[in-house]
Amino acid sequence: MTLNARGRRATAVAVTAAVTAAVTALTLLPATAAGYPASAGPWSTATALTGDQGQQSLIDVRTAPDGTAFALWRDKAAGASTWEIRAAVKAAGGDVWSAPDTLLTGVGASAEARLAAAPDGRAVVTWVAGSGTDGSLTALAATWDPKARTWSDPAGLTAHDGLNLSAPQVAAAADGTLTAVWTQGSRALQFDVVSATLAPGAADWSKPKTLGGVTTGSVDDLALAVAPDGAATVVWDAYDFFTGAHAVTTATRTAAGVWSGAAALPGADASVGDVRVTMDARDTTTVLWLDVTDPNTGTGDLKSVTRKTPSAAWGTAQTAAAAVRPSDDSGPLTAPDGDVTYVWTGWSAAAGTPVVQTVTRAAATGTWSQPKTLSTGYVKWQVSASIGGDGTVQVVWPQTPSIDNGDDNSLQWAIRSNGAWSAATAVNGASVPAVPNTDALTGEVAAGPDGRATVVWREAAYAGGGAYTSRLWGRSQTLLAKPVVTQKATLSGTARTGSTLTCSATATGLRVTAAWSWLRDGKAIAGATAKTRKLTADDHAHKVSCRATAANPAGSVVSTSAAVTVAAGPALKPTKAPSVSGTAKVGRKLTANHGTWTPSATSYTYRWLRNGKVITGATRSTYVLAKADKGKKITVKVTARRTAWTNGSATTTAVTVR
Predicted local confidence at residue 270, as pLDDT: 64
DSSP result, 546-613: EEEEEEETTEEEEEEPPPEEPBPBPPPEEEE--EEES--STTPEEEEE--EEESPPSEEEEEEEETTE
Give the whole-angstrom CA distance, residue 288 versus residue 295: 18
What are the backbone dihedrals phi and psi of residue 259, each rounded to the nearest 5 degrees, phi first? Answer: -90, 140
Tallying the residues shown for the chain, one arrives at: 658
Give the whole-angstrom CA distance, residue 35 versus residue 31: 10
Q: Report the 10 Å Cβ neighbour count for 403.
A: 11
Give the whole-angstrom CA distance, residue 273 versus residue 252: 20
**Would you say the C-alpha torsion 356, 442, 432, 70 has a positive or negative sign?**
positive
Domains and CATH numbers, the chain: 3-479 (2.130.10.150), 484-565 (2.60.40.2700), 573-656 (2.60.40.2700)
SS3 category, 629: helix
Average pLDDT, the chain: 90
Q: Please count the helices (runs of H) and the strands (runs of E) in the chain.
A: 0, 58
Q: How far apart are the first and last CA of the chain?
A: 104
Do residues 398 and 455 make contact, with C-beta atoms less than 8 angstroms apart?
no
Q: Report the 10 Å Cβ neighbour count for 241.
A: 12
pTM, full prediction? 0.79
Q: Mark the ranges of the chain whose per-residue pLDDT is less than 50.
A: 1-36
Q: Report the 10 Å Cβ neighbour count for 597.
A: 23
Do residues 191 and 218 make contact, with C-beta atoms less than 8 angstroms apart?
yes
419 - beta bridge partners? none
**Would you say the C-alpha torsion 613, 616, 622, 627 has a positive or negative sign?**
negative
Predicted local confidence at residue 21, as pLDDT: 29
Predicted local confidence at residue 622, as pLDDT: 97
* Model confidence pLDDT, tens digit, residues 298-311: 889 999 999 999 99
Cβ neighbours for 210, distance < 8 A, ≥ 6 positions apart = 192, 193, 194
Cβ neighbours for 536, distance < 8 A, ≥ 6 positions apart = 497, 644
Q: Report the 10 Å Cβ neighbour count for 209.
A: 14
* Model confidence pLDDT, tens digit, residues 482-494: 999 999 999 999 9
Where in 175-281 does DSSP place strands (E)? 178-187, 190-198, 209-214, 217-226, 232-240, 246-253, 263-264, 272-279
SS3 category, 538: helix
